[in-house]
Amino acid sequence: MNKIKNLFRFLFLLAFLVLLILRLEDAQPWGFEGHKKITEVAIDLILNLDKFNKIEQSKLDFLKKFLSENKNIIIERCIEPDMVRSEDKDEQYNHFIDIDRYGAYPFNELPRDKKVAIEKFGFETVQKNGFLPWRISDFTDSLAYSISKDDKEKMLKYFSWLAHYVEDAHQPLHVTENYDGQLTNQPGIHSRFETELVKYLMRNDELKFDIKRLKNELQRNSIVGDRVNFAFGIVLESYKFINDILNADNYAKSLIPPEKLYRVEKRDGRTRYIYSEEYYSIMAGKLKDLVYDRMTRASIRLATLWLTALAESSNYK
């Protein structure tokens, strides 16, 4: 009897795990591969850094040691904010900002100060439209604080989570109301762009990160004073690329007959459209440089904010 019970328990657990894996496959902002790659490049940039403007050598050495010892953990944990979204309903609002709900570019209707924004629009509206840039600023501060306390566990969390949010901010479809092409009749473009296209480019070895060149770019940056302004700068920059992505999608679709565009799969009670290699090869031709640019900028900005937190950590002591 007990054996049968155990068998049922095992089968139940197995079914649960399979369902979990299927669900995770669906929910992948920047795709997990994109997130991890950007984090890896940011770590490599710092490991190759000999100096960074005003940061003392001993501090920089401390950071390099911490990142090299925990490289794999931080790369793995940078997707954690996506994993907890199903348990923590409030977490989802930290991953995006629908900035075009606040008038016209550069969206000055939205006060950059979060408190003032909430006074103006009410908490619910500001939350519904997303908190992403403020989250980046808050988590830079939290990282600085955890470094000042030498709290290894918190440091691991904040290095990884800050990576996630900086990466999301560089994905143009994380900063618009039309985040999944639902307003322009292009549903599914969000994951086609950030997950499938990135996988396609990696599979075909079309994304080559030149650490030396990127490191030189990083070295020209400085510690970030106004983090909120810095994060909004990323958002406004990302915003300019939305149309390139939507146009490439329309262009690819215009070249491929419908029967060759995608196949339909029913899985987990849901209908999925699996787009063809032909579609992704046209998308790659149009968007390869854009993807590379967004990913490398994300790495450099992330490394810059990590260094900022390191510099700021002395202010807490």
Question: Across the strands, what pairs with 266?
Answer: 271
Identify which of residues 170 and 215 has a Cβ nearer to Zn ion in the complex: 170
**Interface with Zn ion, residue 29, by CB under 5 A:** yes
**Interface with Zn ion, residue 133, by CB under 5 A:** no
Residues touching Zn ion, count (CB under 5 A): 4
Nearest distance in Å: CB 301, Zn ion: 16
Nearest distance in Å: CB 244, Zn ion: 21
Q: Which region among 72-80, 132-140, 168-176, 183-191 touches Zn ion (by CB under 5 A)?
A: 168-176
The closest of 79, 64, 39 to 310, measured between CA atoms, is: 64
Nearest distance in Å: CB 81, Zn ion: 6
Q: For residue 106, say if its preceding peptide bond is cis, omega within 30 degrees of 0.
A: yes
Residue 77, number of CB atoms within 10 A of its CB = 20
Contact by Cβ (8 Å): 63, 310: yes
Q: What Rg do the C-alpha atoms of the chain give, in angstroms?
A: 21
- Torsion over CA of 145, 148, 152 and 157, rounded to 10 degrees? 20
Q: Segment 254-313, which members bind Zn ion (CB under 5 A)? A: none
Among 40, 44, 138, 168, binds Zn ion (CB under 5 A): 168
Q: Which region among 15-23, 79-87, 213-221, 258-266 touches Zn ion (by CB under 5 A)?
A: 79-87
**Interface with Zn ion, residue 31, by CB under 5 A:** no
Identify which of residues 107 and 131 has a Cβ nearer to Zn ion in the complex: 131
Helix (H) or strand (E) holding 263: strand 262-267
How far apart CA 255 and CA 184 sit, in angstroms, is: 18
Nearest distance in Å: CB 308, Zn ion: 21
Nearest distance in Å: CB 35, Zn ion: 8
Q: Which region among 75-83, 123-131, 198-206, 255-263 touches Zn ion (by CB under 5 A)?
A: 75-83
Furthest CA-CA distance within the chain:
70
Contact by Cβ (8 Å): 226, 61: no
- Backbone torsions φ then ψ of 263, nearest 5 degrees: -120, 155
Nearest distance in Å: CB 271, Zn ion: 24
Identify which of residues 31 and 181 has a Cβ nearer to Zn ion in the complex: 31
Identify which of residues 24 and 261 has a Cβ nearer to Zn ion in the complex: 24
- Torsion over CA of 224, 50, 153 and 296, rounded to 10 degrees? 60
Among 95, 135, 170, 297, binds Zn ion (CB under 5 A): 95
DSSP string for 206-245: -----HHHHHHHHHT----S-HHHHHHHHHHHHHTTHHHH
Nearest distance in Å: CB 188, Zn ion: 17
Per CB under 5 A, residues contacting Zn ion are: 29, 82, 95, 168
